[in-house]
Structure 1
Amino acid sequence: MSQREWIEKDFYKELGVSSSASQDEIKKAYRKLARDLHPDANPGDTKAEERFKSVSEAHAVLSDPAKRKEYDETRKLFAGGGAYGRGGGFTPGAGGGFSQDFNIGDIFGQANAGDGGLGDLLGGLFNRGGTRTAGSRPRRGADVETETTLGFREAAQGVTVPLRMTSPSPCTTCHGSGAKPGTSPRVCPICNGNGVISRNQGAFGFSEPCDECRGTGSIIDDPCVDCHGSGIQNRTRTITVRIPPGVSDGQKIRLAGQGEAGLRGAPSGDLFVTVHVSQDKVFGRNGDDLTLVLPVSYSELVLGTTVSVPTLEGRVGVKVPPGTADGRILRVRGRGVPKRGPGGGAGDLLVTVKVAVPQKLDDNASEALRRYADAEKTSGFDPRAGWAGA
């Protein structure tokens, strides 16, 4: 694909969002489209597969703030005075104009591809097409995002999960070179491996992708029969991902080199797995601390007791001191979520005691409670002493 085609491609339109859309809007639009167009949901539908590729390509650029900024600035540049004209040629800007020795090769960085020319910008932004020089960096594949949902205790303790994905991957036959096993690509004799050629038309110079090698800088005489020379295949694979202990809801796990394959053997992009954590019936979480509510009786708070409570690694006894107030938090050290980073260890278990009030008592219990109430008044205890000005 030529640089002009990349520049004129509207990634916002691909995702159905405006150019001012927020990152959340872009993410939501991509998730919906990816779910509807995924090859697993549309077996044999080549149109859906192509659309899925386009949507993924658009999301790879727009979801990255730095890439999105470069993309917007590039489109703005070429939509103004220095843009490709509708007729297909390059139209000099009417406002500023260009000198007669202006050469578009300077914009695309043909002479100085490593010095920050637009050719480098486009190559880094789109990871394909455009200028290629002997000193330019390989164009890595696009990053890929996916999601997984874990149980609360799985997230707290860590777990290994399999992820089934369908995405562009290095061809297993040619190992990404694009050439038939036993052969190798050769340097294009027309552009000498640059991927572009220069033409002069009147006072202007033009740089355009080499027709012989289609801008890649190399020619494959005997293409791989499985990938047809691209070095990439769409395949379904299962990746085993180790989720570390203590991962939190919404956190992203990066797997280097597990994203979309680079073109003709270039490095693959990365895979980012967003982890969603479901709620637990017993535990809650506050940073590295686990929390739970412990039901107790009134007599247990007054007289004190020891109660067995669950943890991530079994049950432990928690001592409730005599005279404990309802709602007090008891701390069990080192029984929380494993801490990440240097130092290790784990957070604490925070146990909140909560009085459970019986809905119905038998006659004996009711009579005993009345006797206690009388004795309580006789002792002078007043639960509302000093309360609300009393």
Structure 2
Amino acid sequence: MRDPYTVLGVTKGDSADDIKKAYRRLAKQHHPDLKPGHPGNEERFKEISAAYALLSDPVKRARYDRGEVDASGNERHAGFGGRSAHGARSRAHAPGGGAGAADEGAGAWGDDWFSDLFGGRKRPGAGAGASGGAKARGTDIAYSVTVPFLEAANGTKRRISLSNGKSIDVAIPPGTENEQKLRLKGQGLNGLGGAPAGDAIVEVHVEPHPHFTRQDGDIHVEVPITLNEAVLGATIRVPTVSGPVAVKVPPGSNTGSTLRLRGKGVVSQKTKAAGDQYVKLKVVLPDPPDAELVQFMEKWSKTRSYDVRRKAGLE
């Protein structure tokens, strides 16, 4: 057998953790159940397992480094013809006994090492006496789509091309949030040994809107109103995610006054109830200034001025 350090691609100065990482990496590449039909994988895996069995045992590794045993774990003492003092040839207890069948490995190492190779699954056939190929759920595949704000709020569809070349329409449900992930069952990679396929995970990116902002299920928007609408009151058209609606502005409304439109937000996917829309008013003066308005305010302010900053605690 070759030098076990060479087989695993490590050096004598490497730690036990380095050796374990090297073994697991190589085992995933060459295990015959993970890579069926690859010529030479079985023998290569046996060699890797035997090397790891020797180097993962601190006592055996130390004896090998001192030259007391060879790469197969056999005694080097003279007078015993390559046999141990007990008259029996030593074996490296790799999964399956070093040169033995790799599928006996769980008996020597337990299922944990094999579980790592299969993403947390037990060794194929463990506990059931099966000798068939590996069974492992297929890998999930990630996709990404971008949708406008209003389409995410109201629901839409997007077509994506899967890794197998097939195209499908993905339903973007109403109220979808930015970076929300949608799971499409069975649309990932095929599983091993008849196990279920993985899923397609579609991450939705929602474009910002020039006027609307979202907070949970509620929509917020700032709407400008004229001076006369603010002073006298009016009915104005206000945009919502589902289309414009008529809204009454109460007389005497100020910049910052907020109107609540019940049920005009987005639908919660948990409760299926729509949030509200909050309309923040902003009083805007004529531009350019109106001469008559200026004259009126000059006359009005002489007898009816009022202190807004003192009332707000700014003076």
Output the aligned Cα RMSD.
3.7
Residue 374 (structure 1) aligns with:
299
SS at match of 1:293: strand
> For structure 1, which runs of at least 5 residues remain unmatched after alignment?
1-6, 10-72, 168-234
1:288-335 C-alpha deviation (Å, 9 max, x unpaired): 111111011122212222211122222222222222221222111110
1:240-274 C-alpha deviation (Å, 9 max, x unpaired): 21112111111111112110112353321111111
Mapped partners of 1:109, 1:375: distance in 2: 97
Percent identity reads 32
Alignment counterpart, residue 166 of structure 2, candidates 228, 234, 237: 237
Residue 251 (structure 1) aligns with:
180
Q: Is the Cα–Cα contact under 8 Å of residues 183 and 201 in structure 2 kept in the other structure? A: yes
1:333-355 C-alpha deviation (Å, 9 max, x unpaired): 110011111x3211110111112
Mapped partners of 1:386, 1:335: distance in 2: 34
Residue 151 (structure 2) aligns with:
154
1:357 CA drift (Å): 2.8
Residue 59 (structure 2) aligns with:
97
Residue 359 (structure 1) aligns with:
287
Q: Is the Cα–Cα contact under 8 Å of residues 105 and 111 in structure 1 kept in the other structure? A: yes
Residue 136 (structure 2) aligns with:
139
Residue 120 (structure 1) aligns with:
115
Mapped partners of 1:132, 1:386: distance in 2: 77
Residue 12 (structure 1) aligns with:
none
Q: Is the Cα–Cα contact under 8 Å of residues 292 and 352 in structure 1 kept in the other structure? A: yes
Compared with structure 1, are the counterparts of its residues 311 and 389 closer, same or farther at alpha carbon in structure 2 (3 Å cutoff)? closer
1:176-197 C-alpha deviation (Å, 9 max, x unpaired): xxxxxxxxxxxxxxxxxxxxxx
- How many residues were matched structurally? 243
Compared with structure 1, are the counterparts of its residues 271 and 389 closer, same or farther at alpha carbon in structure 2 (3 Å cutoff)? closer
Residue 3 (structure 2) aligns with:
none
Residue 221 (structure 2) aligns with:
292
1:7-58 C-alpha deviation (Å, 9 max, x unpaired): 989xxxxxxxxxxxxxxxxxxxxxxxxxxxxxxxxxxxxxxxxxxxxxxxxx
1:146 CA drift (Å): 0.8
SS at match of 1:354: strand
- 1:77 and 2:20 matched: yes
Q: Which has the larger radius of gyration?
A: 2
| 1:269-288 mapped onto 2 (5 Å cutoff) | 269-288=198-217
Mapped partners of 1:371, 1:79: distance in 2: 86
Residue 110 (structure 1) aligns with:
104
Greater relative contact order (Cα < 8 A, sep 6+): 1
